[in-house]
Structures are given as C-alpha cells and as structure tokens.
Amino acid sequence: MGKQLLIKGMIAGAVVGGLLTLFDRDTRSFVNKKCLQSKDNLKYYAKHPADFVHQINENYQKCSKQLTSGLSTAMDMLQQLEDVTRNKEK
C-alpha cells in the first residue's frame, strides 16, 4: 500500500511540476520545438527502418567502446593503487 502511494505521489508531483514549468513562454517554445522534431524523426524512421537500425547499431558500438575504455582505465587505476599499497607495506 505504501509503495503504491509513493509511486502515485511521485507521478502526480512530476505531472504538476511539468505543468507548472509550462507557464514559462521559453519552456513552452522549447517543448513545442522538441515535440515537432521528435514527430519528424518518427516519421522519417517509420519510412526508413534500415536507417533506424543502423543508427541504433552505431550508438551501441559507441557506448560499448566508451564503456570498454572506462573499464580499462578503472582497471589500470586499481592496479596502480594495488602496486602503491604493496610498496608501502614493504
């Protein structure tokens, strides 16, 4: 019961907050522009699904490379930390 009430409260708060931000003219303009861009993108990808798959594949590869690079850097840093702590113990 408490979990459902929390989720409902969070959703209601997000909706109310979103509506309040739309009182600002610049925000309304930005949201409208982004909605129109999204609609155009959706129409394009509906007509060209191969481009959509290609774009998803490129983004996946890019994220994969970044993750691999980040993990490699983290492993190198852990190895250096391990080396430093071993040298201090001696």
Q: What is the pLDDT of residue 58?
A: 96
**What would the DSSP string read from start to end of 40-61?**
HHHHHHHH-HHHHHHHHHHHHH
Residues 40-77 have pLDDT tens digits of 999 999 999 999 999 999 999 999 999 999 999 999 99
Domain ranges of the chain: 1-47, 49-90
Q: What is the pLDDT of residue 90?
A: 62
Q: What is the pLDDT of residue 4?
A: 87
Residues 24-43 have pLDDT tens digits of 999 999 999 999 999 999 99
Structure tokens given for 45: 């990808």
Distance CA 19, CA 75 (A): 45
Indicate the pLDDT class of residue 2, thresholds 50, 70 and 90. confident
